[in-house]
Amino acid sequence: MSLSKLINTFAHNLIEWVVERLPAIIHRERGDALNFLIALVLMGLALLLRLEIAPVSAGLQYITFFPAITLAAVVGGLWPGIFATMLGLSLATFIFTVPYYSFSFEAIKNAMGSNLVFLMDGVIVCSSIEAMHRYRASYAAELIEARRQEARVVALNKSLDEFTYIAAHDLKEPLRGIHNYASFLKEDYAPRLDQDGQKYIDSIQRLAGRLSTLIDSLMSYSRLGVAEVVREPVDVDNVLDGVAEDLNRLWTTEGIVLHRNGLLGVVIGDADRIGEIFQNLFSNAAKYNDKPSKWIEVGCDHGSVPPVFYVRDNGIGIAPQHHENIFRIFKRLHEQNKFGGGTGAGLTIVKKIVERYGGRIWLESVPGEGTVFYFTLSGDA
């Protein structure tokens, strides 16, 4: 095998080795003896390759030196790169400058101009690569810290959800007792109470019932944070069929019409949770509608990545300043008994389900004309 083929084969194998191990190499503590040795080997290979290309009188010495210096800086950082640069200057002066193979004052003088440019270029490149090394190290450290904080937040949120669920569950028993004793009091002692006394008992029962409903909503919300996230293919059209069938019995008397704009497709998720999303959005759309002819439209924009689902209605609409408030738990924009009451937890639960699957939810609305809720679910099939 000729020297040229031998050098080319060695260089090719070296490049493959470096590329395969580059992530591990650039994470090595730079500036140690090994990195300087690598710089020395790279410059030696660059010299052999340059001598193979053309005679020394042809010049062009930097054509192989500069890539070697760059690679030395990538592998080892600033000082191995500077070391390779100085070595390149010495080789260029000693071998490729008249008189050739001489380190005389004349050779130094003749190489002064080209070597100065080469030195500046080498320092600039090595400094830039070192800056990228530092940025990468800083970014990696910030990323590790961000992931640590994210894991901590997730753990804290899960602990909070567990605490909320347990606390809400434990509140149910005494609350049930209050409601029952109020019922016993009303049944056994009603004749002894005046009209105001009976109203007080009715208020106790009503408030206990409302508090029980709020606790149920709170338990449903907190349960989402501790439950395992199910990820399986879900035919959203089949889910919608079930939700529409459940709600149709309630809507028939109110004259609410559901329009389906095309197929919704298949996503990765939990059929029950996706059903909760549509059920809550449909229920809100039906509830907050004062039009004589009420309708709800559901569809999906498959041209977006990920696909965007939407639920549109011709209801009362939502003012812009309330677009964020409606997702807060137990936040209602109207009086308690207006528009059929409710706890104000439905949209909060919807938002949490969507976010648990890596999606987001937002809305567009014109007060008096209607509202459109959009949401995405990441990991589509």
**By three-state DSSP, how is residue 256 classified?**
strand
Provide the domain count of the chain: 2
**pLDDT beyond 70 at 197:** yes
- Give me the amino acid identity at 323: H
Nearest Cα to Cα of residue 11 among 44, 54, 45: 45
Read off the pLDDT of residues 224-281 as tens digits, 9 standing for 90 and up: 665 667 788 999 999 998 888 877 766 776 778 888 998 999 998 888 888 888 988 9
Residue at 276 is within a domain = yes
Residues 106 and 236 occupy one common structural domain: no
Residue at 243 is within a domain = yes
Read off the pLDDT of residues 360-380 as tens digits, 9 standing for 90 and up: 999 998 888 899 999 998 754
Residue at 155 is within a domain = no
For residues 320-343, average pLDDT: 63
Residue at 246 is within a domain = yes
Cβ atoms 65, 20 nearer than 8 A: no
**In CATH, what number is assigned to the domain containing residue 316?**
3.30.565.10
Residue at 198 is within a domain = no
Looking at 60, 91, 110, the residue that finishes a domain is 110
Residue at 225 is within a domain = no
Host domain of residue 236:
232-376
Looking at 110, 140, 160, the residue that finishes a domain is 110
Residue at 18 is within a domain = yes
Looking at 84, 110, 136, the residue that finishes a domain is 110
What count of other Cβ atoms lies within 10 Å of the Cβ of residue 262? 11
Q: How far apart are CA 317 and CA 53, in angstroms?
A: 77
Residue at 119 is within a domain = no
**pLDDT beyond 50 at 27:** no
Query: In the prediction, which pLDDT does 4 show?
Result: 59
Nearest Cα to Cα of residue 47 among 29, 64, 24, 25: 64
Cβ atoms 4, 49 nearer than 8 A: no
As beta bridge partners, residue 220 has none
Query: In the prediction, which pLDDT does 143 show?
Result: 83
pTM: 0.51
Query: In the prediction, which pLDDT does 343 show?
Result: 55
Query: In the prediction, which pLDDT does 179 show?
Result: 78
Nearest Cα to Cα of residue 229 among 353, 345, 58, 45: 353
